[in-house]
Structure 1
Amino acid sequence: MSAHEAQVHGHCDARFAAVREAFEENFRERGELGAAVAVTVDGETVVDLWGGWADAAGTRPWERDTLVNVWSTTKGPVALCAHLLADRGLLDLDRPVSVYWPEFAAAGKERVLVRHLLSHRAGLAGLREPHSVEQLYDWELTTERLAAAEPWWEPGTRSGYHALTYGFLVGEVVRRVSGMRLGAFLEREVTGPLGICDFTIGLPEKESGRAAELVHPRAADSSEQAAIFSQLSPAAIAALANPVVGATQANTPEWRAAEIPAANGHGTARAIAALYGVFAGRGSYGGRRILSPEAAERVREGQGSCRDLVLGAGFESETEIGLGLWLSGPNGSYGPNPWAFGHDGFGGSCGLADPEAGVSLGYAMNRMGPRIADDPRKMALVASLYSAL
């Protein structure tokens, strides 16, 4: 059975048949290898589909409980942790980061606010000095270098996507405030209480048998990726290529064992939909409140639209980041509601929340496309979801 003939399993309410159709078309027409998609409406799962292969060779079927690295889709749960602390009065998003992390005040960063970290406006999109993948696995070294780093631009003035540094920056603040690394905090305060057993920062070794193999973009897609990278500014190169990470690195035991909260969350589409369902439910999911409605609303508080200093060339118009997630905006990245919001993962995955419609969506896959955001497979699923509402 080829990817074009992939069997799709799971359930899909009749009302959302268009989502199943788009999911099947992803295999036939858009090069899907293995993937899953889930949708919740008012906290109830209405779509839970999976299919294809968990490995490049096509020897392991994608199962109901297959886990996969979802790259920056992880950033939504990271933001949730910060907002949970703020909701409890333990973290003030309008105070300087150095209040919680004194070393961070170095190199002119004494006025960088916590909100600037969440909205990718801290000017620390990447490190200026070479930073290897192996060094990325070292939490203390990476956060020490970020604390000492000089911003690439005046903090607070523009957004510039902090592809890898976001998780260390927000994660270190969470650690300084709570005394816990972000992965442990997420499990204790969010996934544990909500019964979301299939989403972790990094991947426990005991779960490695369930992990899908990430696969590099196809040759044509790789050419598109090379063209995108050829246009990058120095700050963007620092953000996206210092170090270079991709499928090769993410398939290793070392990557899975590390804690890289911007990029190495592992989960199922079902778990992603549940986590973003907290935002869609205005702080509640499955009858349990995680955030106050006011705190949940604050997540999508726009910080000003602009041409993002790292990703700007990849979008038709300006984009806007809230306090941790991207607004759908004029690009319709998360559907026609401009105030819907979410986060994409490098190569295609996605988490989406639309409180007005009461819906969340999770999408995870293993054949990476060339884009950091708005992969055609994800956009087809989002369009199909809204056609059914």
Structure 2
Amino acid sequence: MLTLPEGIRGSADSRFAAPVRTFSRLFARYLRTGGALAVYLHGEPVVGIWTGTADAAGEIPWDADTAALSFSTTKGITSMVVHRLADRGLLDYDTPVAEYWPEFADGGKNSITVRDLLAHRAGLSDLRRVLDQPGDVLDHVLMEHRMAAATPDWTRGLPVYHAVTFGWLLGGLCRAVTGQGMADLFRTELADPLGLTGLHLGHPADGTTVAELVGPSLAATGTRLGKPLTAAAARIPVLGKAISSMHFPGGEEALRGPVPPLLSTENGAATGVFTADAIARVYAVIAGDGAFEGVQLLTPETARALDRSTRISPDPRRAFWHLGYHPLPTLGAPRGFGHLGLGGSGGWADPASGLAVGFVHNRLDLSLLPLDMSLLSVLLPTITRSAATPARPVRTARAA
């Protein structure tokens, strides 16, 4: 095993010295908070490390069981719930959502399919069209009903990021099919079968330590300068759709405090609370042909379909998202797919090499959003190169 740098705890295979060093430097020089990285190779743990602290005061050490609010990393986990239901024949990707959720037929949505929801092509991304007041965002059942009654806008059929509404759309669909909310489905479909203790939607009820968000809690959109800029940008058709999919007046209040109000709701797009190891184990299912540690969570056919068409497509109707995931085209790690979250957390799998990765931290500075969203892309090249390094043979003593 590898001797870890000062301040880094856990363990790592000696082949993965480079990503461990990169992780250490990332936190020492840039993040300066707490976080964790987990890597599995062909179903075996090869990196499980963590560092820093889990609170703003810097008094609570991050440990192996510390979980973090991971924002849109949640979408990849929610998508896995959908794939579990599809795998058992409870859903079909190309069937209209309204066949499972009759209420959804309102507003001329009869033709929107399950695949459309997963690919962000439903034309239902705009929060301004469904929120009456900021507090509505914390009532996921109310918002599921609002999505069922909503009318698609001009982006129907185009891959426009459903940053927040993705969770309500798939939550309503899965509730209609199973009778369960998405938080329960995280447990029954994923956490229980895989034996996970660090996979939650909303604030954990089991006493799991949730890292406090550290850093500026107000986005640039909430500053004196940012508000008029946001209002102006919102009037530009394409840019406006991107902004209106995630920003709404008073939204920054949902991120304030040691226990942000956002954790009181179940939104499968944004309120996942995960350990790095739990994320990596879910993605190890994809990297392992649907199985992990002897548990066949998906059939091989379903797992392999997730890796199909996750590349950039010349057809704008099929670009980027595929069955809930997006590619992470990183220099040195061109293959693979997963989902990033606000601030830079993420999950990633490369079935071709058997790699699965989970990364979380608790720094949130929305003024550095473009830079932070590249954090996993900094780690992945060193991880893929390390995975390609042959394991050292185990030396045995010669017989006398």
TM-score band by shorter chain is 0.7 to 0.9
Q: Which segments of 5 or more consecutive residues in structure 2 lack a partner in the other structure? A: 389-400
CA distance in 2, matches of 1:133, 1:53: 31
Q: State the partner residue of 2:377.
A: 379
1:360 aligns with 2:361: no
Residues 204 and 140 of structure 1: is their aligned pair in 2 closer, same or farther, counting only changes over 3 Å? same
Deviation of 1:259 (Å) = 0.9
CA deviation profile, 1:92-135 (whole Å, cap 9, x unmatched): 11111111111212222111111000111111112314454421
CA distance in 2, matches of 1:307, 1:348: 28
Residues 110 and 373 of structure 1: is their aligned pair in 2 closer, same or farther, counting only changes over 3 Å? farther
Q: State the partner residue of 2:276.
A: 269
1:280 aligns with 2:287: yes
Deviation of 1:257 (Å) = 2.9
CA distance in 2, matches of 1:220, 1:201: 23
The one-letter code sitting in structure 2 at the alignment partner of 1:195 is: G
8 A Cα contact 2:96 2:114, kept in partner:
yes
CA distance in 2, matches of 1:162, 1:173: 15
Per mean C-alpha deviation after superposition, the further-off stretch among 46-55 and 228-237 is: 228-237
Q: State the partner residue of 1:10.
A: 10
CA distance in 1, matches of 2:89, 2:193: 20
8 A Cα contact 2:341 2:373, kept in partner:
no
Tell me the TM-score normalised to structure 1 length. 0.86
Deviating above 4 A after TM superposition, structure 1's stretches of 4 or more consecutive aligned residues are: 217-223, 225-232, 306-309
Aligned pairs for 1:104-253 (under 5 A) are: 104-127=104-127, 128-156=129-157, 158-207=158-207, 210-217=209-216, 231=233, 233-242=239-248, 244-245=251-252, 248-249=255-256, 251-252=258-259
CA deviation profile, 1:41-85 (whole Å, cap 9, x unmatched): 011110000001111221221112111111111111111111111
Residues 111 and 297 of structure 1: is their aligned pair in 2 closer, same or farther, counting only changes over 3 Å? same
8 A Cα contact 1:214 1:247, kept in partner:
no
CA distance in 2, matches of 1:71, 1:334: 26
SS at 2:269 equivalent: coil
Q: State the partner residue of 2:79.
A: 79
Which has the larger Rg? 2
Residues 251 and 293 of structure 1: is their aligned pair in 2 closer, same or farther, counting only changes over 3 Å? farther
Match of 1:347 among 338, 343, 348: 343
CA distance in 2, matches of 1:122, 1:305: 18
Deviation of 1:6 (Å) = 7.2
CA deviation profile, 1:252-300 (whole Å, cap 9, x unmatched): 3643232111111111101110011111112111111000111112223
Deviation of 1:307 (Å) = 10
CA distance in 1, matches of 2:260, 2:220: 26
Q: State the partner residue of 2:398.
A: none
The one-letter code sitting in structure 2 at the alignment partner of 1:214 is: L
The one-letter code sitting in structure 2 at the alignment partner of 1:67 is: A
CA distance in 2, matches of 1:66, 1:324: 26
Residues 246 and 372 of structure 1: is their aligned pair in 2 closer, same or farther, counting only changes over 3 Å? farther
The one-letter code sitting in structure 2 at the alignment partner of 1:262 is: A
CA deviation profile, 1:311-364 (whole Å, cap 9, x unmatched): xxxxxxx96111111023xx3289221xx1100010110100110010000000
CA distance in 2, matches of 1:96, 1:245: 35
Deviation of 1:247 (Å) = 7.3
Residues 284 and 252 of structure 1: is their aligned pair in 2 closer, same or farther, counting only changes over 3 Å? same
Deviation of 1:139 (Å) = 2.2
Q: State the partner residue of 1:312.
A: none
Residues 218 and 134 of structure 1: is their aligned pair in 2 closer, same or farther, counting only changes over 3 Å? closer
Tell me the TM-score normalised to structure 2 length. 0.84
Q: What percentage of residue pairs aligned between the two structures are identical?
A: 38
Match of 1:335 among 322, 327, 333: 333
Q: State the partner residue of 1:305.
A: 313
8 A Cα contact 1:334 1:352, kept in partner:
no
The one-letter code sitting in structure 2 at the alignment partner of 1:343 is: H
8 A Cα contact 1:33 1:367, kept in partner:
yes
CA distance in 1, matches of 2:300, 2:149: 36
CA distance in 1, matches of 2:315, 2:216: 26
The one-letter code sitting in structure 1 at the alignment partner of 2:215 is: H
Residues 307 and 363 of structure 1: is their aligned pair in 2 closer, same or farther, counting only changes over 3 Å? farther
Deviation of 1:175 (Å) = 1.0
Q: Which segments of 5 or more consecutive residues in structure 1 lack a partner in the other structure? A: 310-317
The one-letter code sitting in structure 1 at the alignment partner of 2:144 is: T
SS at 1:108 equivalent: coil
Deviation of 1:172 (Å) = 1.1
8 A Cα contact 2:255 2:262, kept in partner:
no
SS at 1:82 equivalent: helix
Let me know the Cα RMSD of the aligned residues: 2.9
Per mean C-alpha deviation after superposition, the further-off stretch among 278-287 and 342-351 is: 278-287
8 A Cα contact 1:353 1:359, kept in partner:
yes
Aligned pairs for 1:40-79 (under 5 A) are: 40-79=40-79
CA distance in 1, matches of 2:165, 2:258: 20
Deviation of 1:221 (Å) = 8.8
